[in-house]
Structure formats: structure tokens, C-alpha cells
Amino acid sequence: MKITVSAKEFQTFISAISNVFRGGASLKVHKEYIECITFSEDSASIMSCAKIHILNENEINLSANEEYVINVPDLQKFSRLLDMNDEETFTFEIKGNYVYFKNSKVKGAKFILDDLPAQKIHKHVTSKWFSSFTPKFETDLTKNQIKEILHLSSFADGSNKVYFYQDGPNLIAELNDRTIDNIDNVSIIVSDSGTGTIKDKVIIAVDSLSSLILTTPSIKFAVVEIGNKIKSMEAILFTLESNGVLIKYLFNSKVR
């Protein structure tokens, strides 16, 4: 099976996965796209779903509902091959338990695939699941606003938490730890045009924001509710879309 994708977008796709978990990934090849569900190291704080469009979909011998899974032990193998690729597209071939690559510069390269996945992904966590959430609050952020929050973490250096909450129409990011007395903290307005309502504060680790691939000018920020009727909690869903790549990140909230 030969697969052709945009070289630039495939690098974004690979980087998005690796930023969440560096221990390998299972890529699901469909007729029109490749997707990957990834959990962070602790299997809880961050979940991501990345999709990239396949350019030669007419040559992919799969039915509309069929998928072909490859377990890649080291995604950086793809990155190194991309470094040796000067073309706008990137083509690789899957044969048996190997990925093969060649172009005008590389006479031939191959790397072996794993028999088992690097992570155990819960069955209910699918791309449809990521698309099933109804936002309780949503707004658009810029990549510079995410960078500002990360930059200010050195000011509030006694904590690794950021509290997102609503103050009227404004979305506030507060770098603080409210469980600790006498701590340096700072709050900034990151959006003044949100719609909907955040019930409580959503708390995440500041450094987890560095997992976001900031390749698009705008990032959709949404607060969603996860769980069931008995027990549910708010979480943050970040969505980035660029040409043929779609990446969704779900950040689960800390309890306090």
C-alpha cells in the first residue's frame, strides 16, 4: 500500500502526536485519511485525535468503512525521512511489517513496525467521540495568547497550574495555585468574545499547553462536559485545523 500526503502537513501530524506521547503510535489508515488517537503519559490529562488527508485516496485499496492499522514504534523515523524529502508531497509504502521510502535522494530506507500498539486506547475514545461534544463555552484564541500564558509561567513560578474561568464576557487565564497561601500569581484576559457559560474553573497544568502544535493563526477553545449523568466534569477541547490536518486535544481538568 503506497500512501501520499502533504509533506508539510504530515510533519505537523507527526509532531502533534509526538508532543502528547513520545513512545510510539498506532496509525489507522482509512481510504481518505490517516488518524491517530493518543493519550499523554499518565493516560488521563491529555487525549488527542489527529487526522491527515491522503492525497492518493483513489489508489488506496480499502472500503469506506475499512481501516488498516500500523503500530509505529518511533515516529521520529518518519521525521528523519521528511528531512530528506525536498518535495511538497511525501510518499511511503507499507509492505508486511515494514515501512519503505525512497526518492531522488534516498535510494532506499525501511523501518520495522511493532506487532502490538504502544498504548492501550479505551474503546469509546474514537474520532466520533471527539466530535460528539457540545460546547458549553467557546471562543477563538491566537497562538500568541497561548505563548503568553506559557511565558507568564515563569512569573507565577510557585505553581504549574492555570485556571480558566469566565468573568462576564471575558475568558480569564489565572496562573496560580489556590491550595497554597502566599504565592505569586497573575491573571490575564485571553478573550473578550466568548459565547456560552463556564460553570466552574477548569484547571490544567501550564506546561501541558506546550503539547499544542501552534501552526495555525487561530485555535478554537471550547469548554465541554465529559462523564455521565451521575458524574461529569468540565474539560477543555482545543481544535486546530490547517489545510488537510485536523487536531483535537482534550485536556481533563484537575480536581483542585
Read off the pLDDT of residues 87-134 as tens digits, 9 standing for 90 and up: 999 999 999 999 999 999 999 999 999 999 999 999 999 999 999 999
The span from the CA of 36 to the CA of 51, in Å, is 7
Read off the pLDDT of residues 162-185 as tens digits, 9 standing for 90 and up: 999 999 889 999 999 999 999 999
Q: What is the mean pLDDT of the chain?
A: 94
The span from the CA of 72 to the CA of 112, in Å, is 8
Query: What are the beta bridge partners of residue 27?
Result: 70
The span from the CA of 173 to the CA of 175, in Å, is 7
CB 82 within 8 A of CB 90: yes
Closest among 76, 63, 33 to 51, alpha carbons compared:
33
What radius of gyration do the chain's Cα atoms show? 20
Task: Encode burial over 96-131: b for 16+ CB neighbours within 10 A, e otherwise.
Answer: eeebebebeeeeeeebebeeeebbebeeeeebebbe
Query: What are the beta bridge partners of residue 189?
Result: 172
The span from the CA of 59 to the CA of 11, in Å, is 22
Read off the pLDDT of residues 81-96 as tens digits, 9 standing for 90 and up: 999 999 999 999 999 9
